[in-house]
Amino acid sequence: MRGGEESKKYRYIKVSAYLTVYLALSMTVMISLCLALIEGVRSNAIRLEAECIMDIGLHSIFAEYHQELFKQFNLLAIDSSYGTTVSGRTNTEKHLEHYIKRNMSMEDVLLEKFLYKDFFAMEPEDIKLTKVSIMSDHKGAVFRRQAAEAIKSDIGMSALQELMDWMQTVEINRLAKTDIAAQKREADDRLQAYNGEEVQISEEVWETIQIENPTKELEKSRNKGTLALVMEDTEKLSTRCIAQDGLIGNRIKRGTSSKGNMMQADMPELDRLMERFLFQEYLLDYMGHYCNENEKNVLLYQTEYIIAGKECDLDNLKSVINTLTAIREAANALYIFSDSEKCTEAELTALLICGLLQVPELADLLKAVLLLGWAYAESLYDIEILLKGGKVPLLKSRETWHYDLAGALSGYERTQETGWESGLTYEDYLRVMLMLTDIDTITERAMNLVEANIRMTPGNRAFRLDGCYVCVEAFVTVKSAYGYTYELTRQKSYLEGR
C-alpha cells in the first residue's frame, strides 16, 4: 500500500512539473508576442504621430497668413519677414520648428512627470524648407494665379465671351494700330504745302493760293489735350505719385528679388486665356480706376497706372485717355468713311471751297481732311460721355453718331448728354486696353501697387512680395528615444483650398 501511494505522489509531482514547464514556455512565447506587438504599435504610432504633427505644423504656419494682404487684396501668403525687415526661409523654418516641438512635447499634460510616461519620446532632429513658391516667381505668374483664383467664383463665362467679341472687333479693324491723328497731320501738311503757290487764272492772270484749313479749330483743340477739353475742372484730378524704385518690379529687373525653387507647370492656351481674363477682372475689382477710386490707396487711378506705368495719377489718366481717344478716332474714321451720306456731304463742301479757290484738284485731299477732323470731333464727344459714366458703342452707326459736319468744324464744346443705352462703359474700354497690354507688364505693375499699398499700413513698412510664400515643401527628420528615426516630406499650398 505504501508503495502505491508513493507512486501516485510521484506521478502527481511529475504532471505538475510538466505543467510548470509548459506554462513557462507558453508565457515566454506570449510575452515575446506581446512585446513585439507593443513595439510594432510604438513604431507605427510614432510614424503616424510624426506625420500628424508634421501636417499640424504646416497648417499652423499657413494659418499665419499676412492679414493685411488678405484684407485688402484677398490674397493668401506667408510673410516670411513676420513684420521685421528681414525675410527668408530661416524665419519660417523657426516657426515650423516651434509648432512641431510644441506638439511633440507633453508640457501641456497635467502632472505629466508623475502620472504619464512618454510612449513615443520623439524629437525633431532636422527641419528645413526644401522648396518654396514665392508670390513674385516666374515674372509674377504665381501672383497672377492667386489673383485669378481669388475671383474665379464671382465671374461668369459670358463676360469672357463678350470681351473676346470686343477684342475681335478691335483686331480685325486694327483700331489699336491705326494712327488716325498721324494721317490727319499728313493730310494737313499736304494741304498746307499748297499755300503760297501761284495758279494761272487766265492767260495773263496768276493768283497766289491761300487755303485756310477748315479744321483748324479742331486742331487747336487737339493741342490743348483731351482731358482739358472734355472735363470742366481738371484741378480736381488726383496728383498722387508712386515711387517705383524700391518696389518689386524694379527688384525683378535688377535681379535682386528673392526667388523660389518650385517649377511652374505649363498651361494650355485656353487655360492661359481664362487666367488672364480672371486676372484682369481681379485688377478692375480690387485696384480701382477713375470713377471708382479708393482714397486709402497709394494711387487713385490704379488701373490706369497698370496700363500706362507712369508715376503720377494725372499722367496715367492722360495717357489712358489719349490711347482711348486714338481707339475711338480709329473706330469713328472707319465708320465715317463707310457712310455714303457723310462722305457726300464732305465732298460737296470740299468741292465748294476748292471751286471758290479755283483749285479743284485739291477736292479729294480736302474731303479727307474734313472726314478725319469730323471723326476726331466725334471722338472727343465719346470720351466726355465715357468719363461721365455713360456708354459708347465700339463701332458707331448712323443712329449713334452725334455730330453733323458744321457742328464738328465749329470747335469742340462740352455736352450735357449722357450717351446711349447700349455700348461699352469706361471700365469696358479699360478691359480692352488691359488685353492690349503685355501680360508680364501689367502683372509687374499690379505687384508694385500691392506692395506700395501694404506698406502704407501700420507695421508693414518693409513688406516685400518676394518674401511671401504661397506653397512650401518641408523636410523633417524625427528621432525617437526608443531608437526609431523617420524622414518626412510634405508639401502644402494656399491654392489647394481655393
* CA-closest candidate to residue 304, choices 485, 445, 491, 492: 445
End-to-end alpha carbon distance in the chain: 95
* CA-closest candidate to residue 327, choices 376, 270, 273: 376
Instruction: Kindly write down the DSSP assignment for every residue of 398-458, as one continuous string.
Output: TTT----HHHHHT--------BBSSSB-HHHHHHHHHHTS-HHHHHHHHHHHHHHHHHTST
Instruction: Kindly write down the DSSP assignment for every residue of 337-377, as one continuous string.
Output: TT-HHHHHHHHHHHHHHHHHHT-GGGHHHHHHHHHHHHHHH
> According to the model, what pLDDT value does residue 224 have?
84
The predicted-structure confidence for 448-489, as pLDDT tens digits, reads as follows 999 999 999 999 999 999 999 999 999 999 998 888 889 999
Q: Do residues 219 and 204 lie in contact, with contact meaning Cβ atoms separated by under 8 Å?
A: no
Q: Do residues 314 and 290 lie in contact, with contact meaning Cβ atoms separated by under 8 Å?
A: no
- Report the phi/psi class of residue 10: left, alpha or beta, with left for phi > 0 and alpha for psi in -120 to 50: alpha
> According to the model, what pLDDT value does residue 271 have?
87
State how far the alpha carbon of 112 is from the alpha carbons of 41, 151, 468, 480, in Å: 21, 49, 39, 18
Cα-Cα-Cα-Cα dihedral of 380, 385, 389, 395, to 10°?
Answer: -90
Q: How far is CA 403 from the centre of its chain?
A: 39
Q: What is the pTM of this model?
A: 0.86
* CA-closest candidate to residue 220, choices 207, 229, 211, 232: 229
Beta-strand (E) ranges in 112-189?
122-134
Residue 471, strand partner residues? 133, 493
With H, G, I as helix, E, B as strand and everything else as coil, classify residue 473.
strand
pLDDT beneath 70: ranges in the chain: 1-19, 21-22, 106-118, 196-209, 497-498
> According to the model, what pLDDT value does residue 441 have?
96
